Structure 1
Amino acid sequence: MSLGELFLQIGVVILALAFMGRFAGRIGLTPIPLYLIAGLGLGQLMHLEGAAQSFVHIGAEIGAVLLLFMLGLEYTSRELEDNLRANRRIGLLDLALNFTPGVLAGVLLGFPPLATLLMGGVTYLSSSGIVSKVLADLGRFGNRETPVVLAVCVLEDVAMAFYLPVVAALLIGGTALQIGGNLLLALGAFGLTFFLALRYGHLLSRIMDVKSAEVLLLSTFGLVLAVAGLADIINVSAAIGAFLVGIALSGEVAHRVRTLTEPLRDLFAAVFFVFFGLELDMAALPAVLIPALLLTLVTALTKFVVGWYGAARAGVQTRGRIRAGVTLIPRGEFSILIAGLGAALTPVLGPLTAAYVLMTAILGPVLARFDGPLAQWVDRWGKKV
């Protein structure tokens, strides 16, 4: 592929994203569902290959990492500890209500045991990336229910730091001693990094605090990618590594980093969502649409219950409870990652997850936009009852 062809293909993809983002702004919706649809459309119209495909793939991975890094920046270590303690009951409720439907679906569809376990992870996790993007697009980071939403996402991400190494070790197989060794290495590395981020993150903030915006951006971006890479090498999610870097940074330097990194996050996050759409096999989707739709309806309700309950415990009124519930509906980057791990176990897992993620990623952001009418309907229904 010539350099001109490479630039042309990448340019078409980014222009399609720009058009969808502009259209989303006109109709008042978050652009995430439109980015996914753009990926589906481009996948039918053009075939990325070679360097262009590699560029979009790498850009998508960077997008997932930056989304989690920016989410981590929203917390100080103290806020994280307080949220984990205060919301552990909600976390347990979330695990029970949303891991179970995936496991039941795997059993009903005849998946092997390990694929069934993976399907539970697919339905359990809200997409931290999509949730944070929805909150940013709709200006809701300062809302009363938002700490509950973020706490649920953080608890899920922390759970994944334990879940993913366990699943990876089981997939690799080997003797019991080998599996145990892999687990100890991955979990020990995560535990140590988590402890250092909470206890000594202020030292990193001092080191990173330089006057030059250019140097600060380069230092931050390089550190995030390096830590994400190391995390992936030891079988801890790269996104978890980036998330921990975000937690470690605090104070004025975190504010400056957030301002500098937002444009990068927006660019690469858009690439992440369009890449997911590009990778979908349209021919395999019709056979899994009904199971995916049923799973979407069930787990949209279970996530809504988690958000509603959590916001209610925090003293939030009806509209805020609805916002919390619908914001947690989307599944995304981690669900795709989990399905990818088990792609060889059963051919149905990948297409089912793809259709399921697409449906929830569209449903959640759309409902989040219409929280006002939904609150009015709930209030009227409550009076009738």
Structure 2
Amino acid sequence: MGGAFLAAAVLARLGGRIGLPTIPLFILAGILLGPHTPGFVLVADPHDLEMLSALGLVLLLFYLGLEFHLDDLKAGGRRMALAGTVYLVLNVGAGLGFGFALGWGTSEALVLAGVLGISSSAIVTKVLVDTRRLGNPETKPILGIIVVEDIFLALYLAALQPILSGADSFSAAAADGGKAFGFLLLLALAARFGTNVVGRLFATKDDELLVISFLGAAVLVAGVSEWFGVADAIGAFMVGLMLGSTTSGERIRQLVHPLRDAFGAIFFFAFGLSIAPGDLPVVLWPVLAAVVLTLLMNVLAGVGAARLYGFGPGPAANISTTLLARGEFALILATMAAGAGLDDRLSPFIAGYVLLLAVLGPMAAGRSHWLARVLPGGRSGPDGPGGPDTAQDTREGSPAGAAV
């Protein structure tokens, strides 16, 4: 574990000198020191870091929840839902069509629909933090899209599992989906009506007790969420949403920073451990085609979301590039596909696709003004309507932008 922390830190420091974002460097450290790359192997079994990796994902999404208030969600709930639906229709639909076009099989196409359709919540959160855009207006539709994706994710996994396992019981799939949706509804009601009670429970002047309390709550709810068939990340997000609106919210934001950064790095490092570079050449062309398709769909979805909110080309470019990366959910699908005995090309395809977008996503987000210039209404120069930002997040304590 110590070697993983240090390797990630060294590579990130070296890359930072030439302006590279930290996310792909953490992933690269995992690839270079993992079991699938010749040379020194620091971690022979990626499962050794599985719990730490899960904690990193939980803390990243918990922090994202802290940054937003319930009023932000209530004020634009309908537009957020519409933006998320448009994003899913474009990306999941394109992924399904791409899967059938490859001709690998119907089950494989259903898996690829999820792989190409769902953004990485962890990478999106890290990009927003690194680029200091948490306070930007266009971050609200980005948040809305992530929430809609997570709701879809719970239902999608519940429906996909019996298909991959060979079961044909629609009632079992419906029961799993209903259980997941019911728990999501319970979390939403708790966030809506339970904030005052939660605030009193967490009210303490002792930082030590506050850290133990919010960390325990985030991890516990994340674990219960997973048991109900809901992504653990969305459970942590909802806890952050509740605590961010309490009188202790600002202190929690400051106290969680070092935890988020440390375990977030381990999440991306562990992500790299699972990638086998030697398998990638076999699926090179399908991977490149899928990346191009995802780029196009994200631009269309970003422009559509921006128009819903009355934003210009700069925010549209930010939405498009921030949501580009694919990650933890795609790897879960790769594991499920391998266990179900699907096409052998599926796992290396997912690994290559995720790796490319994990690298391109943060880099594109840091240079979104290039895209803004070619969108309708854009013009040269970062200060015009095509500029990347409409408002920088200048709150005290915001980390330096590693991607810009």
* TM-score (normalizing by structure 2): 0.85
One-letter amino acid matched to 1:311: A
Counterparts of 1:199 and 1:327, CA distance in 2 = 31
Unmatched 5+ stretches in structure 1: 1-9
Shift in Å, 1:270: 0.9
Unmatched 5+ stretches in structure 2: 381-404
Shift in Å, 1:147: 1.6
Note if 1:226 corresponds to 2:220.
yes
Note if 1:240 corresponds to 2:234.
yes
Counterparts of 2:211 and 2:337, CA distance in 1 = 36
Residues 145/175 of structure 1: CA separation in 2 closer, same or farther (3 Å cut): closer
Q: 1:100 aligns with which of 81, 88, 93?
A: 93
1:64-106: per-residue Cα shift (whole Å, max 9, x none)? Answer: 1211211222222232233331233322221121001211222
Q: Quick check: 219-228 or 15-24, which moved more?
A: 15-24
Q: 2:26 aligns with which of 15, 35, 43?
A: 35
Indicate the SS of the match to 1:360.
Answer: helix
* Cα pair 1:295 1:356 within 8 Å, conserved: yes
One-letter amino acid matched to 1:267: A
Q: 2:349 aligns with which of 340, 349, 352?
A: 352
Counterparts of 1:193 and 1:377, CA distance in 2 = 41
Residue in structure 2 matched with residue 198 of structure 1 by the alignment: 192
Residue in structure 1 matched with residue 303 of structure 2 by the alignment: 308
Counterparts of 1:232 and 1:169, CA distance in 2 = 17
* Cα pair 2:120 2:328 within 8 Å, conserved: yes
* Cα pair 1:135 1:141 within 8 Å, conserved: yes
Residue in structure 1 matched with residue 119 of structure 2 by the alignment: 126
Counterparts of 1:273 and 1:219, CA distance in 2 = 26
Q: Quick check: 77-86 or 302-311, which moved more?
A: 77-86
1:13-68: per-residue Cα shift (whole Å, max 9, x none)? Answer: 22111112223432334200111122211122333557x85442221111112112
* Cα pair 1:84 1:155 within 8 Å, conserved: no
Q: 2:106 aligns with which of 109, 113, 121?
A: 113
* Cα pair 1:285 1:351 within 8 Å, conserved: yes
* Cα pair 1:304 1:329 within 8 Å, conserved: no
1:262-285: per-residue Cα shift (whole Å, max 9, x none)? Answer: 211111111111111111122221
Counterparts of 2:287 and 2:32, CA distance in 1 = 20
Shift in Å, 1:137: 0.9
One-letter amino acid matched to 1:350: S
Q: 2:359 aligns with which of 359, 362, 373?
A: 362
Note if 1:168 corresponds to 2:168.
no
Q: Could you tell me the percent identity over the aligned residues? A: 36
Note if 1:82 corresponds to 2:75.
yes
Alignment of 1:282-321 (within 5 A): 282-321=277-316
1:330-380: per-residue Cα shift (whole Å, max 9, x none)? Answer: 111222223322222332222211111111111121112223444446545
Residues 373/97 of structure 1: CA separation in 2 closer, same or farther (3 Å cut): closer
1:309-344: per-residue Cα shift (whole Å, max 9, x none)? Answer: 322433333333222221111111222223322222
* Cα pair 2:202 2:210 within 8 Å, conserved: yes
The structure with the largest helix share of the pair is 1
Counterparts of 2:114 and 2:58, CA distance in 1 = 19
Counterparts of 1:177 and 1:314, CA distance in 2 = 39
Residue in structure 2 matched with residue 4 of structure 1 by the alignment: none
* Cα pair 2:317 2:371 within 8 Å, conserved: yes
Note if 1:181 corresponds to 2:175.
yes
Q: Quick check: 16-25 or 59-68, which moved more?
A: 16-25
Residue in structure 1 matched with residue 392 of structure 2 by the alignment: none
Indicate the SS of the match to 2:158.
Answer: helix
Q: Quick check: 156-165 or 282-291, which moved more?
A: 156-165
Residue in structure 2 matched with residue 158 of structure 1 by the alignment: 151
Q: Aligned Cα RMSD in Å?
A: 2.3
Note if 1:263 corresponds to 2:254.
no
May I ask how many residue pairs the two structures share in their alignment? 371
Residue in structure 1 matched with residue 320 of structure 2 by the alignment: 325
* Cα pair 1:164 1:237 within 8 Å, conserved: no
Indicate the SS of the match to 1:320.
Answer: helix
Counterparts of 2:107 and 2:191, CA distance in 1 = 32
